[in-house]
Structure 1
Amino acid sequence: MELHGEDVLLRPVVDADAPVLAAIVREPEVAAWWAPPADFVGMLAVVYVGEVVGAVQYEEEEDPEFRHAGIDVFLTSRLHGRGIGTDAVRTVARWLVTERGHHRLTIDPAAANAAAIRSYAKIGFKPVGVMRAYSRDHRTGEWHDGLLMDLLREELV
């Protein structure tokens, strides 16, 4: 499977991507929001200009009464602020809506991650509410609030 965005290509992570992705999640600007996962299995590599620069993960709720999907993304800090993450999230969101049939998507950035929140809003995600003490900072052990955002199929930009 390959998903083509405006500037990015999303494809399944392969073993050779693991060292690159592990280095990215250790970058201080990325580590502030992402704990290093045990592995990258099931994620989609974000490829920009032929280089793996991050990853997207998604989860799907299959219960027909609650069917929806959730998205998360990380990107090397040297490309932050250039629209690459927005393109990656938009690309997987379109696929989840058009190919996987989801009518609603969620994303849950840290409430303090203003750049991520702005990026997701560009795609059409809207704030639903603050989830208090939602995630634990893997570096300090402190709890931080998260912002639940969602997007309905017809709102996707």
Structure 2
Amino acid sequence: MWFQKDMLSVRKVVEQDIPLLAQWLSDERVLYFYEGRDQPYDEDRVRKEYLTRQEGETIDYGIAEWEETPIGLIQIYKLDKDSMRKYGYPPDVSVWGMDQFIGEPDYWNRGIGTRLVQSAVKYLTGEKGAQIVVMDPQVRNSRAIRCYEKCGFQKVQMLPRHEKHEGVWQNCWLMEYDKEAPGEDV
């Protein structure tokens, strides 16, 4: 278990999660912002991406559960040297990134995403030693951006043509949670 708070918990992705992940990652409502509707996953792709570790890979994948029901995916990773340099972070700062989605539409618009992000930030700053946590949502994903801002993230840099989504390059925001910023306590 990575962390647990009230009815929310996050645990490591396991083999038994493959069918559920394939279901979420082939749902057009989820893919509208995550990966793209032209990139549905099948179980083989899920297994390869979320369970097969490549040498030197530093991404950890977790299943978010609400009252012990799997509802979404979260990934966390320490930024590599190239990303640190690209985003302007000095090499002596511990910067972690995260991405997440709620795959079960019945759990949308209930504040669970906000709780997930807040809990993940607390986990990364407390357990992993992150000084800064970053995300890069597409500019058009206003619902996610509002959630992240509620959790103390700030837009710090526009990333033009950062992510190809459904064949179109999308602008993204680099959003940052700085543990040392005044008033930034999740």
Q: After the TM superposition, which residues 51-90 of structure 1 pair with which residues of structure 2 at under 5 Å, given as runs? A: 51-61=69-79, 65-76=92-103, 77-90=105-118
Match of 1:46 in 2: 64
Report SS of the residue matched to 2:29.
Answer: helix
Letter of the structure 2 residue corresponding to residue 46 of structure 1: A
CA RMSD of aligned residues (A): 1.8
Ranges in structure 1 where 5+ consecutive residues have no aligned partner: none
Match of 2:177 in 1: 151
Deviating 4+ runs (over 3 angstroms): 61-64
Distance 1:52 1:12 in 2: 12
Distance 2:136 2:122 in 1: 18
Match of 2:7 in 1: 7
Distance 2:185 2:97 in 1: 14
Distance 1:8 1:123 in 2: 16
Tell me the CA shift for residue 62 of structure 1: 7.0
Ranges in structure 2 where 5+ consecutive residues have no aligned partner: 36-40, 52-59, 82-90
Tell me the CA shift for residue 119 of structure 1: 0.7
Q: Would you say the 8 A contact 1:5–1:88 is kept in 2? A: no
Kindly provide the CA deviation profile for residues 53-100 of structure 1, in whole angstroms up to 9, marking residues without a partner as x: 111001113775242100100112332211111111111110110111
Q: Would you say the 8 A contact 2:159–2:171 is kept in 1? A: yes
CA 62–143 in structure 1, closer or farther in 2 if over 3 Å, else same: closer
Letter of the structure 2 residue corresponding to residue 83 of structure 1: G
Distance 1:5 1:116 in 2: 21
Tell me the CA shift for residue 143 of structure 1: 0.8
CA 135–61 in structure 1, closer or farther in 2 if over 3 Å, else same: closer
Tell me the CA shift for residue 5 of structure 1: 2.6
What is the TM-score of this pair, normalised by structure 2? 0.77
Report SS of the residue matched to 2:64.
Answer: strand
Distance 2:9 2:27 in 1: 22
Q: After the TM superposition, which residues 99-118 of structure 1 pair with which residues of structure 2 at under 5 Å, given as runs? A: 99-118=127-146
Q: Which has the higher contact order (CA 8 A, sep 6+)?
A: 1
Match of 1:17 in 2: 17
Tell me the CA shift for residue 129 of structure 1: 2.2
Q: Would you say the 8 A contact 1:111–1:147 is kept in 2? A: yes
What is the TM-score of this pair, normalised by structure 1? 0.90
Q: Would you say the 8 A contact 1:7–1:87 is kept in 2? A: no
Q: Would you say the 8 A contact 1:61–1:68 is kept in 2? A: yes
Q: Would you say the 8 A contact 1:18–1:39 is kept in 2? A: no
Letter of the structure 2 residue corresponding to residue 40 of structure 1: Y
Distance 2:7 2:97 in 1: 22
